[in-house]
Amino acid sequence: MKQRIKRLDKNKPSRALTKIIIIKVLPVIAFLVAGFLLVPYGSMYFQNNKVANVNTKAEAILFYNANCSHCQKVYPKIFWHNVLNFKNESKQIQTINVQNANNKHYISEFAIRFTPTFMKTTNLNQRLVSTNSQQIKQFIQTGGH
């Protein structure tokens, strides 16, 4: 009977394997998930701080303020949109942090009154101030509200 129990134990996954998964694999997965969630917010504060000019090849421009709660809601979606379309410049949405002193001139240059403001590069008078994903998607695709 003892031999039979030992044979059954050999068929069970080892505790060492379970321990390895818990100690080595789960932290990596947790790190990747945390990175996926936090990367856009880091980008929001540390990228787009000195934009030399407006990229007319981009599909649209997002003027945002990194401390604006509405911008914080929209920016991650735009960030991942740009990541997914990184090879297609005409599908990119240029992001400009108008909170940064280097970019404040865009506020007066383009009469930005609210953030987040989306602006089409093909018609600088076409603008949208919204956090609604469907409105933003429609505006980017068609230029309409």
How would you write the pLDDT of the chain (145 residues) with one tens digit per residue?
Answer: 455 555 555 555 567 777 777 777 777 777 767 666 667 666 776 766 778 888 888 899 999 998 999 999 999 999 888 888 878 888 889 999 999 888 999 999 999 999 999 999 888 889 999 999 899 989 988 865 5
Q: Which residues contact 47 (CB under 8 A, 6 or more apart)?
A: 95, 97
Quick one: which of 57, 48, 59 has its CA closest to 106? 48
Residue 6: the pLDDT is 52
pTM attached to this predicted model: 0.72
Residue 16: the pLDDT is 72
Residue 85: the pLDDT is 87
Residue 11: the pLDDT is 54
CB atoms within 10 A of CB 11: 6
The sheet carrying 127-129 orders its strands as 93-97, 60-64, 117-120, 127-129
Residue 118: the pLDDT is 95
What is the Cα Rg of the chain in Å?
24
